[in-house]
Amino acid sequence: MNDVQQRVQRILDRQVASGAETALQVAAYHRGRLVVDAWAAAPGRVIDGSSLFPVYSTGKGVAATAVHILVQRGTLAWDDPVARWWPEFAAHGKGAITLRQCLDHTAGMAMLPAHGSLDGIADWDGMCRALADMAPFPAPGSERHYHAITYSWLLGETARRADGRDFARIVREEIAAPLVLDGLFFGIDDAHLPLVQAAEPSPPATPANPPPAPPTGNAAVIAERHIPSWVKPLEGFMAHAAVRRACIPASNGIMNARSLARHYAALVGHGVDGVRLLSDATLDQALANRPLPGEKRAGWGLGYGLSGPDAAPGAVFGHGGYGGSTGWADRRHQLAVGFAKGRMGGGGDEVFAEIRRCLDCPG
Q: Answer yes or no: are the C-beta atoms of 109 and 132 closer than 8 Å.
A: no
Q: Say whether 348 sits in a helix, a strand or coil.
A: coil
CA distances (Å), origin 26, targets 20, 37, 57, 273: 16, 6, 17, 20
pLDDT in tens, the chain (363 residues): 479 999 999 999 999 999 999 999 999 999 999 999 999 999 999 999 999 999 999 999 999 999 999 999 999 999 999 999 999 999 999 999 999 999 999 999 999 999 999 999 999 999 999 999 999 999 999 999 999 999 999 999 999 999 999 999 999 999 999 999 999 999 999 999 999 999 999 887 666 677 788 899 999 999 999 999 999 999 999 999 999 999 999 999 999 999 999 999 999 999 999 999 999 999 999 999 999 999 989 999 999 999 988 888 899 999 999 999 999 999 999 999 999 999 999 999 999 999 999 999 998
pLDDT of the residue at 155:
98
Taking the C-alpha atoms of residue 28 and residue 15, their distance in angstroms, rounded to an integer, is: 19
Q: Residue 54: which residues within 8 A CB-CB, separation 6 or more?
A: 196, 197, 198, 199, 238, 252, 253, 254, 323, 325
pLDDT of the residue at 1:
44
Taking the C-alpha atoms of residue 70 and residue 149, their distance in angstroms, rounded to an integer, is: 21
Q: How many CB atoms lie within 10 A of CB 143?
A: 19
Taking the C-alpha atoms of residue 256 and residue 177, their distance in angstroms, rounded to an integer, is: 15
C-alpha radius of gyration, the chain, whole number: 20
pTM over cut 0.85: yes
Q: Which CATH code for domain 3-201+219-359?
A: 3.40.710.10
Q: Answer yes or no: are the C-beta atoms of 187 and 181 closer than 8 Å.
A: no
Domain boundaries, the chain: 3-201+219-359
The DSSP secondary-structure symbol of 114 reads: S
CA distances (Å), origin 25, targets 136, 149, 150, 348: 39, 25, 28, 10
Amino acid at 18: S
Taking the C-alpha atoms of residue 237 and residue 229, their distance in angstroms, rounded to an integer, is: 11
Q: At what angle do helices 257-265 and 59-73 cross, to 10 degrees?
A: 30
* 359 φ, ψ (degrees, to nearest 5): -95, 5
Taking the C-alpha atoms of residue 155 and residue 172, their distance in angstroms, rounded to an integer, is: 16
Closest-CA residue to 302 (of 79, 28, 74, 73):
79
Closest-CA residue to 175 (of 244, 262, 56):
262
